[in-house]
A and B are shown apart, each in its own frame.
Chain A
Amino acid sequence: MRCAQTTTLRLLATVLRPTEGTAVVAGHDIVRDPALVRSKIGFLSGDMGLYGRLTPREILTFFGRLGGMRPAALKSRVAELIEMLGMQSYADTRADKLSTGMRQRAAIGRTIVHDPPVLILDEPSYGLDVPTARLIENFILEARNQGKCIVFSTHVMEEAEYLCDRIVVVHEGKVRATGTMDELRAATGKTRLREIFLDLLGFADLRKEATA
């Protein structure tokens, strides 16, 4: 296991079964109805999880089929996503021959091919350069504007501050604080999420100490 966040997201995605307790995703219990939960979610991690020997079009089609989409609807949905994500020039090139940015677009397409109402993203921008990470940010904002529920984990505080409506600060497997940015600011008296985070973890503000 990598860390508590990954485990939590894997539990929500029904990849792992909780040893105790449960959660409800899109109205379905993750322990009782994992299959229903899976049909309502799109899962994406920083590794992207693309089949190198398949092309983006084949990968999208494969996951769409697993989602039970009808052939005609799936075909037009895949074409639509390829256009939307600007993948026309490499939609039929094997994924292992693509650049990181291209692969990330294909991974986004794969995540949303069956149009899930819930997106679970595990450090989706981990290890990406800034322009490629920007791609992910845009994707998240667009999905939010479409009314999708997005749960994502990140170590980049700016990303959370910029994208999230509600933030949960987790440290060493424990929830330290929950709320909107404004609520967190009020609770700690700090402005930036980075400072709020450090404050919640009990780190002293080095700058203040230096001036005092």
Chain B
Amino acid sequence: MKPAAVFTMWRKEMLEMVRDRRTLISMVVAPILAIPVLLGVVNFFTSSGQKQAEQEAMTVAVGGPLAMPGLEQALAAAGFKLTHAADPRAAVEQKKAAAAVVEARSEKGEPVVRLLVDASRQGSRVSADKLAVVLDGVKSRMVREALAGSGVPAGVLQPFSVERVDVAPRGKMAKTVMGGVIGYIVILLMFSGCMYPAIDMTAGEKERRTLEILLSSPAGRNEIVLGKILAASTASFLTALLNVLSLAYSFRSGLMGPEATRLLAVVKLDPKTVSLVLVAVAPTAITAAAVMITISLFAKSFKEGQSYLTPLIMLVVFPAIMGMLPGVEGDPRLMMLPVFNVSQLIKSIFNGEYTAASFLLPFASNLFYAGVAFFFAVRIFKREDVLFRS
């Protein structure tokens, strides 16, 4: 084994890679843009969706001027915009207003304020909730006024009050989801980042008839395949690196707007976190490279290689998505499941919830898988029936 020959192979593969447009897109452009684009989309929909819902929720249809004293003023004070509609019910149905307030009389002749709600619409439900609160306020004020001077203490009206306390720690949900989504994107991009290089340096070399020449060169088979695996691992690792750096940059620059910045605020992005994530994904880069090289070695052409590896990417999606689900943490057996464990690990590093043990178990098992995948790639590369499949 000559390290110089391995390095020469690696250098040649890297040179070919940076001159291939397909590889550049999957290795450089995609990881840099993926997270800003995702956050941009999230930002756009959450902020515009919220604004729209709020705006809609504040429009209330009424049949005409409300007769109940102080009701219109109370609604206006709460921020509601009253629109007059000949048919308030139709206005709600046609989404011209979120809800409608209609004054009526019960059978016994008592006054009734009827809220017309379309329960299938979130805006309408929100609106009705808010209207109920305002009407409650108006009702207690009227009772208070009626009781004033009768000698009944005001406390009778409200023997106790109800307080609702949210026990979920601030941002926990966002943490779980954001950490998971980011971990998942990093892993997926690492696999897709080394897919084209892996195919190109195996099936591609067969197709272009350069493999035969390479095999007759003074370089040994071990050196050739080692250089190739290292180059594909570099591609995979570079994808992760660019991805994480782009994430850190979008976060620090506030580039993605306030909504995304708020979501990301729960994710730690200091240099130590970023370096730990990169250490955590390194064995996975080697595994991805070695597995993809092994599989695409069986292909005779670039196209065939692509059709072998695309299902693999789909396969990677499953454990990665599983890692996004809340509540799967903690089972040590699951922490040895490849792909899944590293997406979990990235999540816990970003959240700052990792321990030495929770880092080492997945890291060590991934190192083991990398070794096995590496070993197989080298073995397969020495098989003539695979190299010269026809």
Contacts and interface: CB of A to CB of B under 8 A. Distances in A.
B259 to A, nearest CB: 43
A124 to B, nearest CB: 12
Nearest to B223: A66
Contact of A49 (B2, B208, B384): B208
Given A54-B16, A66-B8, A39 B218 contact: yes
Query: Which 3 residue pairs are nearest across A and B when measured between Cβ atoms?
Result: A49-B213, A47-B209, A43-B216
B304 interface: no
Nearest to B221: A34
Interface in A1-52: 1, 10, 13-17, 35, 38-39, 41, 43-45, 47-52
A51 B212 contact: no
A112 to B, nearest CB: 13
12 contacts: A1-B388, A1-B390, A13-B215, A43-B213, A47-B212, A51-B16, A54-B12, A54-B15, A54-B16, A68-B2, A114-B218, A120-B216
Given A44-B213, A54-B15, A65-B5, 13 more contacts: A15-B215, A16-B388, A35-B218, A39-B218, A45-B213, A47-B209, A49-B209, A50-B210, A54-B16, A66-B5, A66-B9, A67-B217, A68-B218
Contacts of A41: 216
A120 B4 CA distance: 26
Sorting the interface of chain A by its residue count into under 10, 10 to 19, 20 to 34 or 35 or more gives 20 to 34
User: A-side binding surface: helix, strand, loop or mixed?
Assistant: loop
Contact of A66 (B19, B217, B388): B217
Interface of B: 2, 4-5, 8-9, 12, 15-16, 19-20, 208-210, 212-220, 384, 388, 390
A38 B218 contact: yes
Contacts of B388: 1, 16
Contacts of A185: none
Nearest to A14: B216
Given A1-B390, A17-B384, A67-B218, A45 B15 contact: no
Interface of A: 1, 10, 13-17, 35, 38-39, 41, 43-45, 47-54, 58, 62-63, 65-68, 94, 110, 114, 120
B221 to A, nearest CB: 9
Contacts of A54: 12, 15-16, 19
Nearest to A35: B220
Contacts of B4: 65, 68
A85 to B, nearest CB: 17
Contact of B216 (A1, A15, A47, A48): A15
Nearest to B227: A66
A62 to B, nearest CB: 5
Nearest to A17: B384
**Residue from A38, A51, A52 having most chain B Cβ neighbours under 10 A:** A51
**Residue from B5, B212, B213 having most chain A Cβ neighbours under 10 A:** B213
A33 B15 CA distance: 31
A145 B208 CA distance: 32
A186 to B, nearest CB: 36
B25 to A, nearest CB: 15
Given A1-B390, A66-B219, A45 B8 contact: no
Contacts of B390: 1
Contacts of B217: 38, 43, 63, 66-67
